[in-house]
């Protein structure tokens, strides 16, 4: 493993907590979209952050500006391999390490399964050794093609075990099981968040998600790709709300899964319509076949998060999309936002 702090490569894997920092937090998948936003937030609250990532889908550019912070360290490591050489205390582990975009996690489905089983096992082992609290990022995909809406945590889902999404869906399901088994058998202090579609700055512009695809296409006057007839729904949560929910869950003492997402459900067609009001574009819609096992609906029931964490999303969809568009325009030829 190689650790980089303040742009220097070091042989040791951890540095002592500085006097002023509050907690030492390891973020697996810390160079990804959610992970890098979480690194930034935890650093801003004076924590020491160890970002662990193998850059499979995470990006150095997402974390570059943090290298100047003395409380930040980066370890280039694949969690599928044992994590043996981090010295020192770790108070909390956020396990966000897994490609989350369907085209990316389908590139190598067996690797996706390994990340979720072996990778989660390795992080749980680390949590056990270090006596760390550990939060696993699960997904709304555990509900599969839901026959109940909105989806509540006690709904057990309707998942295809052998489809093109199964490596991710079943991987996340078995990882939830592993988390609970480590909690029950070894007393590891576990948390499980079920993340519903989340968007915002630092999302990979090319990873194939609907929000980034549509914004990129509209900014470049390219065809807007809608899969199926566009009536399938998703519920889009802004990144800052997502992170606030996860931090509150980490600070709670609840071990069973908790949905974190925005209950405002809209169709893909409606999302496209909204984005067209925000971007001055000549793009037109082209319909493509719906990929197999693409869920028809997603809508989190967030009553548990409200009661348990006193949390609910605060960012309006239009405001969040404007932030995302502005971020995506920074290195694209770009057009001005429509007023
Ligand atoms: N989608 C689409 N056009 C795109 C990308 C995605 O119509 O260019 C659809 C996709 O088929 C799905 C929805 O948008 O029904 C959300 O897709 P995304 O990959 O963002 O998330 P997920 O399917 O994992 O919820």
Q: Scanning the structure block, which residue is given the tokens 């490596």?
A: 167
- The verdict on the CB of residue 197 being under 6 Å from ligand 1 is yes
Query: What is the mean pLDDT for each group of 10 consecutive residues in the chain (339 residues)?
Result: 52 45 94 98 97 97 98 97 93 98 96 98 98 98 97 98 98 98 98 98 95 98 98 98 98 98 98 98 98 96 98 98 96 51
Backbone angles phi, psi at 38, to 5 degrees: -70, -40
Grouping H, G, I as helix, E, B as strand and the rest as coil, residue 186 is: helix
181 token code pair: 């088994």
Query: What is the Å distance from ligand 1's center to 154 Cα?
Result: 25
Q: Whose CA is nearest to atom 25 of ligand 1?
A: 197
For ligand 1, atom 16, which residue shows the shortest CA distance?
210
Instruction: Say if ligand 1 is within 6 A of residue 227 CB.
Output: yes
Question: Distance between terminal CA atoms of the chain?
Answer: 49
H/E segment holding residue 111: helix 109-114
Q: b vs e for 84-110, b when ≥16 Cβ sit within 10 Å of the residue's Cβ?
A: eebeeebbbbbbbbbbbbbebbbeeee
Is residue 104 within 6 Å of ligand 1 at its C-beta?
Answer: no
Helices and strands in the chain, H and E counts: 11, 15
Q: Please report the pLDDT score of residue 312 as a whole number.
A: 98
Query: By alpha-carbon position, which residue is closest to atom 23 of ligand 1?
Result: 294
Assess whether the C-beta atom of 198 lies below 6 angstroms from ligand 1. Answer: no
Q: Is the CB of 102 under 6 A from ligand 1?
A: yes
- Looking up tokens 């599928």, which residue turns up? 80
The answer, yes or no, to whether any atom of ligand 1 lies below 6 A from the CB of 217, is no
Q: What is the pLDDT of residue 253?
A: 98
Active site members: 168
Query: Where do runs of H (alpha helix) occur along 146-261?
Result: 166-186, 210-219, 239-251
Euclidean distance between CA atoms 121 and 105, whole angstroms: 19
Q: Rounded to the nearest whole angstrom, what is the distance from the C-alpha of residue 230 to the centroid of ligand 1?
A: 9
Strand 72-76 to 92-95 pairing: unpaired
Omega before 220 within 30 of 0, i.e. cis: no
> 3-state class of 74 per DSSP?
strand
Element (H, E) at 226: strand 224-227
**Residue found under tokens 């009553």:** 303
For residue 294 and ligand 1, the question of a CB distance below 6 A is answered with yes
Give the whole-angstrom CA distance, residue 167 versus residue 161. 8
State how far the Cα of 143 lies from the Cα of 171, in Å rounded to an integer. Answer: 13
What is the whole-number distance in angstroms between the Cα of residue 134 and the centre of ligand 1?
30
Residue whose entry in the numeric block shows the structure tokens 């889009």 = 236
Atom of ligand 1 at shortest range from CA of 213: 8
> ∠ CA(227), CA(225), CA(285), 5° rounding?
110
Q: Which residues contact 27 (CB under 8 A, 6 or more apart)?
A: 35, 38, 39, 42, 49, 50, 51, 52, 93, 94, 96
User: What are the structure tokens assigned to 147, written together?
Assistant: 């026959």
Identify which of 106, 200, 210, 289 to mutate to test ligand 1's pocket (most ligand atoms within 8 A of the CB). 210
């Amino acid at each position: 493993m190689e650790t980089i702090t303040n742009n220097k490569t070091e042989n040791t894997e951890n540095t002592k907590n500085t006097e002023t920092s509050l907690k030492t937090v390891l973020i697996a998948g810390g160079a990804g979209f959610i992970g890098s936003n979480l690194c930034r937030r935890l650093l801003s609250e004076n924590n020491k952050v160890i970002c662990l990532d193998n850059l499979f889908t995470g990006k150095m550019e997402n974390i570059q500006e943090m290298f100047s912070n003395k409380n930040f360290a980066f370890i280039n490591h694949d969690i599928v391999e044992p994590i043996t050489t981090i010295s020192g205390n770790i108070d909390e582990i956020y396990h966000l390490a897994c490609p989350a975009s369907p085209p990316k996690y389908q590139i190598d489905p067996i690797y996706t399964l390994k990340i979720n089983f072996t990778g989660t096992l390795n992080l749980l082992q680390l949590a056990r050794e270090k006596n760390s609290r550990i939060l696993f990022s699960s997904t709304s995909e555990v509900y599969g093609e839901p026959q109940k809406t909105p989806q509540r945590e006690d709904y057990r889902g309707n998942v295809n075990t052998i489809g093109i999404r199964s490596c991710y869906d079943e991987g996340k399901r078995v990882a939830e099981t592993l988390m609970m088994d480590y909690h029950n058998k070894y007393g590891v202090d576990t948390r499980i968040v079920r993340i519903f579609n989340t968007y915002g700055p630092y999302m990979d512009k090319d990873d194939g998600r609907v929000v980034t695809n549509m914004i990129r296409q509209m900014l470049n006057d390219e065809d807007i790709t809608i899969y199926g007839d566009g009536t399938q729904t998703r519920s889009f949560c802004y990144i800052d709300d997502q992170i606030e929910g996860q931090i509150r869950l980490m600070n709670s003492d609840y071990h069973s899964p908790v949905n974190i997402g925005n209950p405002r459900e809209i169709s893909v067609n409606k999302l496209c319509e909204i984005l067209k009001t925000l971007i001055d574009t000549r793009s037109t819609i082209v319909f493509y076949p719906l990929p197999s096992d693409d869920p028809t609906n997603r809508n989190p029931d967030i009553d548990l998060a409200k009661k348990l964490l006193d949390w609910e999303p605060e960012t309006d969809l239009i405001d969040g999309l404007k932030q995302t568009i502005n971020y995506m325009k920074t290195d694209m030829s770009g057009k001005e936002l429509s007023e």
